[in-house]
Structure 1
Amino acid sequence: MGLRRKSRELALQFLFSHDFQERASTPETVVQDLELFCHSFEVGQKAMPYARLLVEGICLRLDEIDILLAEHSHNWRVERMSSVDRNILRIAIFEMLLADEIPAQVVINEALEIAKHYSIHDSVPFINGILDAVQTAVPK
C-alpha cells in the first residue's frame, strides 16, 4: 500500500471519529484533535504530512466541498449519507480541488479502493457515480 493511501485512510479514520463525536471543525479544534488522535493511536509518521494536509484542507473548505457533494448526489442529502461514505467523498473532492496535484481518475480509483475496504459493497458504485459527476464540475 502506498504512502498516500495510508494518508487517505488515516484522514478517513480521523474525519469519521470527528463526525461521530460531533466536534467543531474550526482550525484550532481540528489541529488539537488531530494531535490527540495521533497520540492515542499508532500512526505512521510518514503518512502524517499528507493526512494533515487532507484533514486541515477539508475542514477549511468543508462548506465548498459539501456544496459540490450535495449538487451531485441526487436524492441524497449529505447529512443522510453514511459517515464513512461522506468522508471518503470529502477526501476525494478535496483532492480534486487541488487540481494539478493528482489526476481526477487516480483520485476516484483511490476513493473506490478505500470504499471497498471500509464501506459496504453498494457504496462503491454510489461513490463512483458522485465522483464522476463532481469531476466534470471541478475546474481543471
Structure 2
Amino acid sequence: MPDRPGGVGSRREARERALALLYEADTKARTGVEVLAAQPIEVEAYAADLVRGVSEHCAELDALLGRHARGWVVARMPVVDRNLLRMASYELLHRSDVPPNVVMNEAVELAQQYSTDDSGRFVNGVLAVIATEAGRTGG
C-alpha cells in the first residue's frame, strides 16, 4: 500500500532522505543547505526542513551531543550516527509537532539499518537523555 502524503511512511522516507543529504554534506565538508541547493530536483518539504534545521542549529546540536554522548567526541562518531543524532535532536528541540517516541524510534531504526551493530543502542541512549532534558518524553 503506498504511503499517503504527510503520513507516517512519508515522514520516515523524508528522514531517510534528509539523512542521505546530511551524510553527503558531512563527508564533503559542505553545509546541508549547500547540498540541498545543489539537488537537481526539489527535495520533499519535511526532508528539506530537517536539513535546513540541522544546518542552522549545528553548533547547538553538536554541543548537546558532546555533553550527552559519554566517551565520544562528536567529530569521532560514525558519520551516520552523528547525523542521525543531529537530525533527531533537532526534531526533539525544535519540532514540537512530532511525538518524541516517533523521532527516537525512527532514529534507532535508521541507525540499525545504516550504521554499526551497536549504533541503535547508542543512538537510543543519547536521544533518551536529550529528550528527558528537553522535557519531551512520551508520545
State TM-score, norm by structure 1.
0.85
Higher helix share: 1
In percent, how many aligned pairs have the same letter?
Answer: 40
Aligned-residue offset at 1:74: 1.0
- Which range moves more in the overlay, 68-77 or 91-100? 91-100
Could you say which residue in structure 1 is the equivalent of 2:86? 90
Aligned-residue offset at 1:100: 2.3
Gaps of 5+ in 1: none
- Aligned equivalents of 2:11 and 2:86: distance in 1? 16
Find runs of 4+ consecutive structure 1 residues off by over 2 angstroms: 30-33
Aligned-residue offset at 1:75: 1.0
Change in Cα spacing, 1:113 to 1:65, as seen in structure 2 (3 Å) is: same
- Aligned equivalents of 1:7 and 1:80: distance in 2? 26
1:23-102 matches, cutoff 5 A: 23=30, 25=31, 30-36=32-38, 38-39=39-40, 48-102=44-98
Residue-by-residue CA offset, 1:63-116 (whole Å, 9 max, x unaligned): 111111111101100000010000011110000012521121111001011112
- Which range moves more in the overlay, 124-133 or 96-105? 96-105
Cα pair 1:88 1:115 within 8 Å, conserved: yes
1:98-117 matches, cutoff 5 A: 98-117=94-113
Report the aligned-residue RMSD: 1.7
- Aligned equivalents of 2:116 and 2:25: distance in 1? 21
Cα pair 1:99 1:139 within 8 Å, conserved: no
Cα pair 2:24 2:35 within 8 Å, conserved: no
- Structure 1 residue 8 and structure 2 residue 15: aligned? yes
**Looking at both structures, which has the greater relative contact order when contacts are Cα pairs under 8 Å and sequence separation is at least 6?**
1
State TM-score, norm by structure 2.
0.85
Secondary structure of the equivalent of 1:121? coil
Paired residues in the alignment total 129
- Aligned equivalents of 1:112 and 1:66: distance in 2? 18
Secondary structure of the equivalent of 1:86? helix
Cα pair 2:19 2:84 within 8 Å, conserved: yes
Could you say which residue in structure 2 is the equivalent of 1:130? 126
Gaps of 5+ in 2: 4-8
- Aligned equivalents of 2:33 and 2:77: distance in 1? 25
